[in-house]
């Protein structure tokens, strides 16, 4: 029963592109995180590294607690992309004007869990929703 979280902040990709390639869609949840799907967004390598960091965090937690953890048992419990700070730059235009360029950043979070933790969390949310 292990749950691990990994985050990367201020990555230089827009949140819209990061959401398209993150494992946050319903179809990719509850899927093994080992091999990400190939998509043409610029943050695919960062997400791949982030998922492997979450796997390493889970392994460290399991070793600390004295539990056995097989990496094949981990599932993507939750993954989301938040908007980070926006870098504002200016580009010179005609007649002394300035054109603003917004370079957006993202905060990406991936939560991995073993099936027991994922099932217990789903049961708690459904119980809370029914009240």
Domain 3-130 in CATH 3.90.470.10: yes
Q: What is the pLDDT of residue 27?
A: 47
Where is pLDDT greater, at 13 or 25? Answer: 13
Mean pLDDT is highest, among 1-5, 70-74, 90-94, 121-125, for 90-94
**CA–CA gap between residue 89 and residue 77 (Å, rounded):** 37
Q: Where are the domains of the chain?
A: 3-130
Q: What is the pLDDT of residue 44?
A: 83
Q: What is the pLDDT of residue 96?
A: 94
Give mean pLDDT, residues 3-18.
Answer: 91
Whether 95 shows a pLDDT value over 90: the answer reads yes
User: What value does the mean pLDDT of the chain take?
Assistant: 82
């Amino acid at each position: 029963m292990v749950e691990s979280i990994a985050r990367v902040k201020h990555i230089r990709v827009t949140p819209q592109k990061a959401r398209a390639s993150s494992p946050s869609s319903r179809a990719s949840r509850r899927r093994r995180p080992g091999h990400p799907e190939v998509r043409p967004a610029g943050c695919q390598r960062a997400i791949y590294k982030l998922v492997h960091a979450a796997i390493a965090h889970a392994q460290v937690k399991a070793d600390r607690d004295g539990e056995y953890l097989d990496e094949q048992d981990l599932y993507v419990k939750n993954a989301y992309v938040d908007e980070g700070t926006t870098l504002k730059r200016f580009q010179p235009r005609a007649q002394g004007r300035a054109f603003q360029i917004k370079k957006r950043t993202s905060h990406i979070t991936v939560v991995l869990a073993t099936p027991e933790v994922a099932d217990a969390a789903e049961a708690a949310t459904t119980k809370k929703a029914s009240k």
